[in-house]
Structure 1
Amino acid sequence: MNGYSDGFSPRLIALTAAAGSAALLIAALGFQALGYAPCELCILQRWPHLAAAIVGLLIWRLGFNRWLALLGVIAALTATGLAIYHAGVEMKLWLGPQHCSGGVSGLAQMSTQDLMTALEAAPVVRCDEIAWSLFGISMAGWNAVISAGLSGLWLAALRGRKRASGIA
C-alpha cells in the first residue's frame, strides 16, 4: 500500500491525468490521419495537452512535487478554456478569430484584386464549422468535457499531496 487511505497516491492521479492528455493528442492525430484536417483552434488546443503530458513524464521520472502538479493544473485548465472557446465559436455563441472563421475585414476598402487575393489566402479549414460530432457534441466540445475532467484529476493530485504533507 502507498500510505494513502484511498489507495491512490497523488503521483498516480497525476500520471493518469497526463496519460489522458496524451490519449487526447493521439486521438487528435488519429482523426487527422483519417482525413479530418484541424483548424487553427484545433491545433492550438493540442499545446496544453502536450505540456500536461510532458509534466507527467517529469513526474514519472523525477517523482511527484506540487510545482509540477501545479503546472499540470495550469495546462489542463488552459486546454479546457481553449476547448470551451472553440466549442462556443462552433455553436456561434461568439465570434472566433477572423482569419479562421472565414471573415475578411476591410471589404469596403479592398479592390477586386485585393479581395481575390485575400479569399485565395483564406484557410481551407474553418474554426466555426463542426467537422465531426458524437451525440451532438463536437470534437471541441468533447475536448472541453474531457479536459475539465483531467483538470479535476490534476487538482485532486495537488490536493492529495497537500493532505499527505499536512497542509489543509
Structure 2
Amino acid sequence: MWVPAAVCGLLAVLLGLPFAGGSTPGAVDATVAGWTAHLSPGVLRALVLPTEPAVVIALGVLAVVLCLRAGRRTDAALALGAPLLAVLLNAFLLKPLYDRWKNDTLVYPSGHTVSLVAVLTVLVLVTRKAYVVVLSALALLVAAAGLVGMGYHYLTDVVGGTLFAVAVVLLTWSVPRRVPARSTG
C-alpha cells in the first residue's frame, strides 16, 4: 500500500501547486462549476449531505464497530486514528501551506472531502467489498457536485482532498502490525 499512498500524496501536492496563494479557479474548475450552476439550492444541500459531520462520524463508528466485532482491535484503532490524522494534517498543515482562498475560507485541499474520503477509504479497507467501493465512489461524486455547486470548493480542492485522504489512510494502514502468536493449547 506504500506505492499507491505515495502516488496519491505526490499527486495531491502537485495538484495544489498552481493554485497556491490564489483564489481564481482553473479552467476545469470553472467548467465544472458551470455544470452544477443549474441545480437548485435544495438539491445542492442534499448532495453535500455525505460530508456532514453526523454522517462522517456515523460511517467512522460503523468502521470501528465492524473491526471490533471481527476481533481486529488494531484495525479499530486505525479506523479511528487514520481519518483523524488526515483531517488534522489537512486543517493545520496543508490548508495554511497552500493558502488557497474562496469566500474568505482556505479551501485546498477540501476538508469536507478529506473527512469523507478518509472514512470511506477505511470502510473499503475494513470490508474489502466491491459494493462498498461502488457506494463510496457514488457518495464522493455526489458530494463533489454539491460542494462545487454550493460554492464551497473548486473541483481541484475536492480532487486534492480525495488524493490526500487516500494517501494518509493507506500510509497509516501500511504500518507493520504485531501478529499474535498462535495458541498451543
- TM class by shorter-chain length? 0.3 to 0.5
- Higher fraction of helix: 2
Higher RCO, Cα 8 Å, sep 6+: 2
TM-score of the superposed pair, with normalisation by structure 2: 0.35
Larger radius of gyration: 1
TM-score of the superposed pair, with normalisation by structure 1: 0.37
